[in-house]
Structure 1
Amino acid sequence: MKVAYQGEPGAYSERAVRSAFPDADPLPCDTVRLVFSRVTSREAPFGVVPLENSQAGSVNETYDLLQHTSLLRVVGQVLVRVDHALLGVPGARLEDVRRARSHWQALAQCEEFLSSLRIEPVPVHDTAGAARVIAESGSPEDAAIASVDAASIFGLAVLAERIQTEKENFTKFAVLGTEDPGLGEPDTTSLVMAVLDRPGSLLGALQPFADRGINLHKLESRPRRGKAFEYLMYVDVMAPAGSPELDAALKEVEDHTSMLRVLGTFRSAGEPI
């Protein structure tokens, strides 16, 4: 079974794929959008995309794509421990590195390390892809921020390990699909809503969850495309879709929103891998 993911072999996304689907054939994709496309076209029954980092925050592209598709939903979640390393060509020295390539989120997570050494961050589409580019370049002044696994795959030297600012660094990955992947009984539901522009609407949209003892695990606003200075609220609630309590709460929430959608229901991520 193919499972699409954003990145190249050695990427953290591939690690998430192998954790959720140990027997899968990982299908690398250049972008998050392409992962959505591969699953929508049924080239792969499932896809794995980054959702949120414990340090750098949400991956906005993923949330925007989820909001604009009705063909896919979130059906699972994986939590990956992210330990970044600075990788260089064999023989390179840390003090000679002038530029570091990586995904923009990885660069943000390692900002203090890079600043302290006056290394210029250069964003690229993927951590493992950055490692491949450095291996091909042969330049001792260029390095990649990626996993130690990527160093082994591309024959690079590890110049520094665990360079992220927050040493306890985790990324949540969403499993996309149209069917139940068998990853456990759902206990979480992701929602997106547009709250009405009138006093008390946000309170009115959230109160039904509190009244029924449903905990909110995430609450975040994002600009609404095509609606200048209007915002969408992304909400994760600790209840499965279809449960009587959540159904009743959502019926009340509708009175305070102009748009309300379920993005998926799934088993929340367990221990990090």
Structure 2
Amino acid sequence: MAIRIPVSSYPHNIINTNIRSRSSSCSSDVKSSASSIRSKAITSSLKQQRKLKEKNFDLDLLPHLSPLQLTEEIASSFDLDVVVHELERLFNQPGAYPPHPYLPGPSSPSTSPGFSGHPVRVAYQGVRGSYCQEAAVKAFSPVCNAFPCIHMEDAFQALEDRTADRAIVPAENSIDGTIDRNFDLLLRHDNVEIAGELILPVNHCLLAVPGACRSDLKRIVSHPQALSHCKTKLELMALDVDEVPNAAEAARFVSENGISDTAVIGSVIAAKEFGLQAIEQNFQDQIGNFNRFLQLGLRPVLPGRRDKSPSGTWKTTVAFSLEKGVSDLFRALWHFESRNIAVTRVEHRPNQLNPVRAVKKETGTIRYFEYIFILDLEGKVSDPGLKEALIQLDEISGFCRVLGSYSCT
């Protein structure tokens, strides 16, 4: 008998994910240094009000921007990138924040909300208890307000509407491949770019109501992808297995109804959100199972900071089409290979604006599908070699756009 789990629609409002606010025990030297730099930044921005108008900066937007968005708008208009970077460095020093209740460790410099002192607003795809919520908490711990977006496009629209400072979306799984829909949405939203990435090991947990044990179980439910990751172990258990559209919703349903004979394969954060116990963690068959998530923001995402941040691993993602189609792909890749720029990922998507190209040949007209290629490249977009390669790529492409240049440290 299949379990029927209703899928509710959560309201599009902010849900606090039990992320603790900044600790009052933050060291005094960090506080005083940050306060001094913040004062300089504010004073500088106030003195430059006239310059803002000269640069056609919309002053009417200021009251409606979040602290993070205001920082980025001002930093992109003036030479405040050093100030912003120094603030991020100070607030990411060890001891500046308490450990996160779910996932330990300080936030990375690329994802810190900076000097605002306010939780960064993070839209994530899915519902409470999803792996995407887990990624949002990890990326922006210890302080953020994370809210779910039921429909995939809602996370992108939240950035466009300025109801979110950042968005977290899944990009690919090391076993099942790319989440194509999110790259299609990224291509569609010109104002959104990649600000960072997060690669997390998959931890499928066998979740049940408190007090339940393996011998009580008659049924296991989860999303088809999670079930496929655990296929061997499920066969050994010889229980009924049912597919559900959403594992987090299934976890909530099992918890609220106290169903003791049913387990859900879900995330650690689903257990915490819905008061379930993990009978077994890392229930998946393969150890090398990872999810890659993208952190998105509105353009520009502190472009100056890219040139002044500490050395480390950087990645640039670029999308392009080719005037001569797939036959020119080797030429496109050669611009990077000839400069020792590593291409770490190649993907293609249908060119939805021009899906088919007709080519006249002696034997007749041949029609080819048109594609947009997406490359991940090692390096900053401001690196001289990469800049030259992108200029040459643009010469042979019908469309070329940098989707983001971001730190991977």
Partner of 2:248: 128
The TM-score with structure 1 as length reference comes to 0.85
Cα deviation 1:151-188 (Å, max 9, x = unaligned): 23312243433122212322111111024377966721
Q: Structure 1 residues 18-27 or 221-230, which shifts more?
A: 221-230
Contact 1:188–1:238 (8 Å) recurs in 2: yes
Task: Give the CA RMSD over aligned residues.
Answer: 2.7
Cα deviation 1:190-224 (Å, max 9, x = unaligned): 11122344574010110000111110111122333
Contact 2:325–2:371 (8 Å) recurs in 1: no
Cα distance in 1, alignment partners of residues 337 and 158 from structure 2: 38
Cα distance change, pair 130–31 in 1 and its aligned pair in 2 (3 A): farther
Cα distance in 1, alignment partners of residues 290 and 370 from structure 2: 30
Cα distance in 2, alignment partners of residues 148 and 89 from structure 1: 14
Select 1:173's aligned residue among 287, 293, 296. Answer: 293
Cα distance change, pair 158–257 in 1 and its aligned pair in 2 (3 A): same
Cα deviation 1:124-155 (Å, max 9, x = unaligned): 24x43331122234444543221234223312
Pair 1:194 & 2:321 matched: yes
Partner of 2:377: 237
Cα distance in 2, alignment partners of residues 2 and 57 from structure 1: 28
Q: Structure 1 residues 164-173 or 200-209, which shifts more?
A: 164-173
Cα distance change, pair 152–199 in 1 and its aligned pair in 2 (3 A): closer
Instruction: Considering Cα pairs closer than 8 Å and 6+ residues apart, tell me whether 1 or 2 has the greater RCO.
Output: 1
Cα deviation 1:8-35 (Å, max 9, x = unaligned): 4443322322332221111222233211
Cα distance change, pair 154–198 in 1 and its aligned pair in 2 (3 A): closer
Partner of 1:260: 400
Cα distance in 2, alignment partners of residues 199 and 16 from structure 1: 35
Larger helix proportion of the pair: 2
- Total equivalences in the alignment: 267
Select 2:342's aligned residue among 202, 212, 215. Answer: 215
Counting aligned pairs with the same residue, the percent is 30
Partner of 1:224: 351
Select 1:64's aligned residue among 180, 184, 196. Answer: 184
Q: Structure 1 residues 159-168 or 30-39, which shifts more?
A: 159-168
The TM-score with structure 2 as length reference comes to 0.59
CA displacement at 1:92 relative to structure 2: 6.0
Partner of 1:148: 268
Partner of 2:45: none
CA displacement at 1:265 relative to structure 2: 1.0
Cα distance in 2, alignment partners of residues 146 and 140 from structure 1: 16
Structure 1: give runs of 5+ residues left out of the alignment. Answer: none
Cα distance in 1, alignment partners of residues 373 and 218 from structure 2: 42
Contact 1:86–1:143 (8 Å) recurs in 2: yes
Cα distance change, pair 194–163 in 1 and its aligned pair in 2 (3 A): same
Q: Give the letter aligned to residue 371 of structure 2.
A: Y
Q: State the structure with more CA Rg.
A: 2
Partner of 1:160: 280
Structure 2: give runs of 5+ residues left out of the alignment. Answer: 1-119, 357-368
Q: Structure 1 residues 240-249 or 86-95, which shifts more?
A: 86-95
Pair 1:73 & 2:213 matched: no
Cα distance in 1, alignment partners of residues 267 and 332 from structure 2: 41
Pair 1:53 & 2:176 matched: no
Cα distance in 2, alignment partners of residues 33 and 99 from structure 1: 30
Cα distance change, pair 256–120 in 1 and its aligned pair in 2 (3 A): farther
Partner of 2:131: 12
Q: Secondary structure at the match of 1:124?
A: coil
Cα deviation 1:222-270 (Å, max 9, x = unaligned): 33336164332211001211322112111221233322211111112x4
Cα distance in 2, alignment partners of residues 14 and 70 from structure 1: 25
